[in-house]
Every structure is written in C-alpha cells, then in structure tokens.
A = this chain, B = another copy of it.
C-alpha cells in the first residue's frame, strides 16, 4: 500500500486497509506520548496557564486535526513559541477585564480556529507569504532566546516573571532579594546538566551498545523521560529534603472538564483578542506548514495548504471548546512521530488515547514533578531552535534583509512578540512596495527593415523625432502608476518635438483602477501640452477591461493592435 494515498484520498478505506499501517502507528504514538507528557505540562506553564490546559490541548485537537488535516506525520498540540505568544496575548486582556487567564485562552483558541476556517473558506492560504524569511527567522530566534531567558529564574527558584527583557529586568528590580533557593537550584541545575548530557551522549552511547542507528536515535530522544521520572522519585522519596521546591500540582482529567466555556467571556475580551488572533494564527500556520512540508517531501507526499488551514482551524476550535490552550503543528514531536514510523494521521488518535490513559493513571505522580525540571526541559528545547547562522547568511545575502531579521529579533526580545511581528510584516511589505514601485520600461525603436521594435539603448534602431514609443514591462497597479505617469510626463516635457506617445503594453497583464486613473491623468496632462497618447499591443483581457472603463471617451489617441501599425499610422508629425 502506497502511503501517498492516505493524503491524497480520504485517509481510510476501511479497517482492512488500515490494518497494515496499524502496528507502526501504534508504536509511533506510544513514543510520542512519552515525549508529550512533560511537554504538555511545560508549555501550559509557559503560556501562564494551569498544566491541565496543556494536557487538554493534546487530546481533542489532535483528533480534530486527524479528521481534516492533510499531513500524515504532523504532531499537533501545544508548542513553545505559540505558548509564549499566548502568554503575551492573554495576560493584558485578562487583567484589563478581570477575567481568568484560562477563560481568555479559550476565547483565543476559538478565535484562532475561526480565523483559520475563514482563511480556508476564502482561500487565503497565500497570505502565509506575509511572514517572509527574514521576519520568520528573526522572530523564531528572538522568541526562543526570550523563552530560554525567562526560564532562568524558575531554575534558580526566584519569583521573577516576564516575557521580554525589560519585563524581566523590572521584575528582578522589584524583588527584595536575588538570593537563589538552594534546593530548587540543585534540582533545576542537575536536571539541566543531565538533560544536556543525555541529549549529547545518549544516542551515540546507545549506538555503541549495539542498537541500530534508528533505534538509538529514538531511545535517545526519549531520554528526557528518565530525568522526569528521577525528579518525581526524589521528591516522593524525600519530601523534606526538597521543601520549598515548586511542584506542578495535581492534574485531574475530571477537573479539566469543569471549565467556564468561552461564550461566558464578555464581548470586550473577544474584541481585544481579534488582532492577536490574526498574528498568532499567521505564526502558527507558517510554522506548522513548514514542518508538514519538509516531512512530506522526505516521503514524496503532498501537503494541501488549504486542508492544513481546515485541520488547524478545527483543532483550535476543539481546543477552545475543550478547555485547552491554542495548538499548532510542532517541530520536535513531528520529527519523532516521523522517525518512529507513523504511517497515517491516525497515529494522532492513538497518541490522544494513550495520553488520556497516562494522565488518568499517572496524574498523582505528575503532581510531584518540580517546575524547575519543566523549566530545564523548555530551556534546552527552545535553545535548539536558536540558529544564529541565519543572521550571517542573511547579512551576507542582502544588508536590508539582514537588518530586518536583526530588528525583528531585537524587537521580540525588547518589545514583545506582537509589536515585533507587526513591525516585521509591515517592513517586508514596505520593502516589496519600494521594489515594485519602479517598473521597468524602455524607449523602443524599429529594427531597420523589420516590424520588430526594440530598446533604443541596446539596439541600432530607427526613431522619429515627433513619435515617442515606450514599452512598459509591468502590470499597472496602485504601487507604480503615479511614478510611471510622472516619469513619462517628464520625458515628454524634455522632448519638445514629440507630438505622439505610444505606450506598448505586451507585458502588461493587469491594470487596476489606480492604473486606469493614472493613464487618464497622463492622457490629460499630455493633451494640455499638445501631445496625443496612444496604446498598442494590449492583451485581450486588459483591452476588454479598459473598454468597460470607457476608454473611447477619454483616450485622445488610438488603440493599435501592433506597434508596427502605430509606426506606420503616425509617420507624419
């Protein structure tokens, strides 16, 4: 059975067809679940929410994505960068309206989901392009650094909070003492060291012990579970030794279902979250799509950008309705899912099932998990996302884009993620508009003895003093029309002998309303100077549209089918 059929057609042709993929899916789900247990708690804390919000984010949303998404290996759930965005978005809103952060998070999840569903309906997946490469890399690096720094106080046992450097600084200033809590520091520091050592040596060590490379890699990736288990064991065995170490606290699936539903939030909360929902949605989609596409390419599968919007939309609506934080496709778990051999999206269903069972049976033990260990997990996970190599590449490639990447990273660290993203998207558009605002054009003349017209600067061509022939090489749209009309107006002003200007438009694919008004303005200015404007070589759809816009009423001159026709008709001054 070809795995590609799972993505191109409805995922199941019935139980008999699925039976073959079942063992692989179940194995992958078991491995992902082991990784998901600490991550779901850690990312909920990162978002400023109780741990249960992260657990719920790994249940229903996975099921929703499995039903509607298009990737066979994408692992949907809580994700570090999105968790930090969530924290920054819900904090001020919860405070301003006196509503619990958990309730605000549900509203945010629903709004992100609705944004995705509307984007899918309107085929707006193309807008993902708004997050250009410099903005994305600058943002991910800045956010990862900020998340890593924000974990340091938890590792030291200090009650310092903040999502940006100024916030962390102000919070530290407000502390009466900056003396670390010894037991927490011991717990957090040893967890960090152990996690780092396992990340570095577990896989090579297992390989040296004779495991196959693939098995060694998989077991190596699950090594963090060792640290989690060890820390829980030490807390439970010697509670007195660890007095004052902050713990994750009891997690009960029953409690998880007792939440205030999002529709109980005041309208003002929904309104205030509208812009954050757009930005978070953009980031969540672009990140998830990149992961899904890179994994699909390795198996020769295809990803449908629109079905990804549907899948992520359904997943986030499900998150909001089931008491969970916003979700998207995450890099680390998806890689593990892929490497573990998941064959279909139904591996996600098994993951949700196993996680539910794990939480129901192990909830009591997880209550003893120290927050410092979770902080150590987050610290190493996000530091692996930092890749300063991108900055030097970008800087070498283009100073402006390198500068944009650095600006977005610094803005993320100092101002927060929303202003940084807004700034980045805005500057990308400004750069693009500035580039496209100067369309290419050339004065043309006739290659002697032919009907062919070419650039006067590159070819030996014939011209006439009273006839100016200009070829425009770009669609006329609002970004470039004013400039083009101004430039041609000035050119005619310099050539006092000119009586006719022919615009040759074989490469003009589109003229928008601003372009139409620009042409009308050029026509009027030229007429006042005694110069007649003509058009030639219009493409069919462009000509139709200009006629609908009343071309005959305003154009002083004529429309020629070919430039040669214009040349012959306008031989006399």
Distance of A501 from chain B, by nearest CB (Å): 15
* CB under 8 Å from chain B, chain A span 475-521: 475, 477-483, 489-490, 493, 509-510, 512-514, 516-517, 521
Question: Does A436 reach chain B (CB closer than 8 Å)?
Answer: yes
How many angstroms between the C-alpha atoms of A512 and B431 in the bound complex?
10
User: Looking across the interface, which residue of chain B has its beta carbon closest to that of A124?
Assistant: B430
Question: Does A397 reach chain B (CB closer than 8 Å)?
Answer: yes
What residues of B have a CB within 8 angstroms of the CB of A428 in the complex? 478
Once A513-B398, A513-B401 are accepted as A-B contacts, the answer to whether A528 and B126 lie under 8 Å apart by CB is no
How many angstroms between the C-alpha atoms of A129 and B489 in the bound complex?
18
Cβ 8 A contact of A509, one of B429, B440, B478: B440
Query: How many positions in chain A have a CB within 8 Å of any CB in the partner chain?
Result: 60
A397 & B433 in contact (Cβ 8 Å cutoff): no
Distance of A444 from chain B, by nearest CB (Å): 17
Cβ 8 A contact of A126, one of B398, B437, B521: B437
Q: Mark A536-573, 1 if CB is under 8 A from B, else 0.
A: 00000000010011100000000000000000000000
A130 & B433 in contact (Cβ 8 Å cutoff): yes
What residues of B have a CB within 8 angstroms of the CB of A436 in the complex? 436
Question: Does A132 reach chain B (CB closer than 8 Å)?
Answer: yes
B430 & A297 in contact (Cβ 8 Å cutoff): no
B432 & A479 in contact (Cβ 8 Å cutoff): yes
Question: Does A302 reach chain B (CB closer than 8 Å)?
Answer: yes
Question: Does A133 reach chain B (CB closer than 8 Å)?
Answer: yes
Distance of A75 from chain B, by nearest CB (Å): 21
What residues of B have a CB within 8 angstroms of the CB of A393 in the complex? 549-550
Question: Does A167 reach chain B (CB closer than 8 Å)?
Answer: no
Question: Does A435 reach chain B (CB closer than 8 Å)?
Answer: yes
User: Looking across the interface, which residue of chain B has its beta carbon closest to that of A398?
Assistant: B513
Question: Does A434 reach chain B (CB closer than 8 Å)?
Answer: yes
Once A510-B435, A550-B393 are accepted as A-B contacts, the answer to whether A545 and B398 lie under 8 Å apart by CB is yes
Distance of A168 from chain B, by nearest CB (Å): 22
How many angstroms between the C-alpha atoms of A509 and B293 in the bound complex?
28
How many angstroms between the C-alpha atoms of A482 and B128 in the bound complex?
9
* CB under 8 Å from chain B, chain A span 386-405: 393-394, 396-398, 401, 405
Question: Does A127 reach chain B (CB closer than 8 Å)?
Answer: yes
B300 & A493 in contact (Cβ 8 Å cutoff): yes
B398 & A133 in contact (Cβ 8 Å cutoff): no
Distance of A569 from chain B, by nearest CB (Å): 27
How many angstroms between the C-alpha atoms of A545 and B398 in the bound complex?
8
Cβ 8 A contact of A302, one of B490, B512, B513: B490
What residues of B have a CB within 8 angstroms of the CB of A513 in the complex? 132-134, 394, 397-398, 401, 405
Q: Mark A420-445, 1 if CB is under 8 A from B, else 0.
A: 00000000111111111100100000
What residues of B have a CB within 8 angstroms of the CB of A459 in the complex? none
What residues of B have a CB within 8 angstroms of the CB of A394 in the complex? 513
Question: Does A524 reach chain B (CB closer than 8 Å)?
Answer: yes
B433 & A133 in contact (Cβ 8 Å cutoff): no
A524 & B396 in contact (Cβ 8 Å cutoff): no
What residues of B have a CB within 8 angstroms of the CB of A133 in the complex? 478, 512-514, 516-517
A–B Cβ pairs within 8 angstroms, 13 of them: A127-B433, A130-B478, A132-B513, A133-B478, A134-B513, A297-B489, A393-B549, A396-B548, A396-B550, A397-B513, A398-B545, A432-B477, A435-B477
15 additional A-B residue pairs with CB within 8 Å, beyond A133-B514, A297-B528, A398-B545: A126-B434, A126-B483, A127-B433, A128-B482, A129-B437, A129-B478, A129-B479, A129-B481, A129-B482, A297-B525, A393-B550, A428-B478, A432-B477, A432-B479, A436-B436
